[in-house]
Structure 1
């Protein structure tokens, strides 16, 4: 299907599809000799997954990370979507009920307590994102943070110094190819360091490297050791994982 046909089918704009292509979220599998994008049935299936995640409030960067993961299972994702959308429906039904009661209250037909006026509202967190994080997200990062929090102040300081030393070593190598022996030896040291704090599979290690670039908070902190270090580490971590898979 051509891009305009896909946009009409999915109820989104052509500009949105172009944006998904530009950020690497959804590339059309084929192009014509004239350069027109052609979407296959497989592309449409992936688009459906993307739109479900969007409906549940996920940011595009996280959707890209999830659907591009090598262990992403479409059926498992659909089962999760089904569960979360049912939960969302229940929440919306409660909010609709609250709204209807509020309208009657405003007309003087019933009395509502202040607590009843806010039944169904909960903006404290995104429960859908939390469940997906547990399946595809950065649970290894959370485990590491929890372990760090259990250490004494002196132990934390020692680990921080060791971590910064690895960052400085990698920063000094960032002009080399991420595939070089020097870069791979240093990034291997980073992998072993992280696994002292948590449990990082090679795939999780690769995903963490991508997060260094996708999440500006990581990029900003890592690049304090040298401009472009986050990108260098991402590429070196991906190479390290790919060589061992």
Structure 2
């Protein structure tokens, strides 16, 4: 059976220009010509094209493919093993580059310029969900509070993060104790803890007026990823995020009306 160059192009999923190039390179020359002088390919030509495309997919150069196809003594297995080794090395290199890119993304989206080892040492179970960080960055991209929080977070040293996390850990222990003791969310103890959290955000990230703090606490209930930045999953209790939200709202109610930012940061502990 014979095929025109257009038919081969459609069957193999390659361009006519590619077929012409293979012909010019003497890699795949059609077996014949039509009466009008057009290229005509046979079933054997198609089989050879399949081999060429297979080796191209593996990354072999045209010269390497020509050597494999034209030399009957060539060891195809050895060529494939060699290419497998090259691909393994390339995969390792690309994985390293992907890790570097991921760290760069984390720095940009979380503002935490620490190595993965330092992150584990400093943050422990508190983890950054990059999907949440990316959404927050897009949502609050034009917020002065977000920009300030990211800028200050990026400027924190490792010692700053250690101190910040010590404060957050002490606050979290008091919060869990108050919740487990059955303290009312609108009681003095819970509201004081809410105020301490608000001041913590202001001290380490960005000014956090009561209105902004309300919205941050609303996120704790609406999005588990947000609350996981404050209390790791292993320490959470049913109803704890709602408890914190009520405490924050109660604390905001007892404060005199003050400046209330319409946009705010979600980068807090």
Question: Which range, TM-score by smaller chain?
Answer: 0.3 to 0.5
TM-score, normalization by structure 2: 0.39
Which structure shows the bigger proportion of residues in helix conformation?
1
| Larger RCO: 1 or 2 (CA < 8 Å, sep 6+) | 2
TM-score, normalization by structure 1: 0.42
